[in-house]
């Protein structure tokens, strides 16, 4: 269960403090941060580059938000992330789910599912 709003306003030692939503807090924490984005295998082939550095825009708080934003950057990105549920991500070299927050990360990598044999 996701909590969308912690508290609209709370009192602490006589002062009112607005907390807002969790997603607003994550978005403001990630906005403006510089992130190295690395692409591997067919994701790299479709995007047309191995890596780039992006400034995380306002409103992009999670890996899923970043994928959605990248998809708007041109047909090559839209094509690479057309099946976003298939593309895997690693944030600072740790596999993460789309709901994982970007705040504090330095690098994200996108790659197709890996199989062993």
Q: Given a cut of 50, is residue 15 above it in pLDDT?
A: no
Sketch the domain layout of the chain as residue ranges: 32-111
Mean pLDDT of 4-24: 44
Look up the CATH architecture of domain 32-111: Roll (3.10)
Q: How confident is the model at residue 4 (pLDDT cuts 50, 70, 90)?
A: very low
- pLDDT for 35-90, tens place per residue? 999 999 999 999 999 999 999 999 999 999 999 999 999 999 999 999 999 999 99
Cα–Cα nearest to 66, from 94, 93, 33: 33
pTM for this predicted structure: 0.75
pLDDT for 114 equals 78
Burial letters 86-114, b for 16+ CB under 10 A, else e: ebbbbbeeeebebebbbbebeebbbbeee
**What is the average pLDDT score of the chain?**
82
């Amino acid at each position: 269960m996701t909590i969308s709003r912690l508290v609209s306003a709370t009192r602490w030692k006589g002062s009112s403090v607005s907390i807002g939503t969790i997603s607003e807090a994550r978005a403001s924490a990630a906005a403006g941060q510089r992130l190295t984005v690395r692409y591997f295998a067919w994701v790299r082939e479709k995007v047309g580059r191995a890596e780039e550095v992006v400034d995380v825009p306002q409103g992009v708080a999670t890996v899923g938000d970043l994928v959605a934003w990248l998809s708007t950057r041109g047909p090559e990105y839209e094509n690479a992330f057309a099946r976003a549920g298939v593309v895997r991500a690693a944030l600072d070299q740790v596999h993460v789910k789309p709901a994982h927050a970007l705040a504090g990360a330095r690098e994200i990598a996108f790659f197709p599912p890996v199989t062993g044999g």
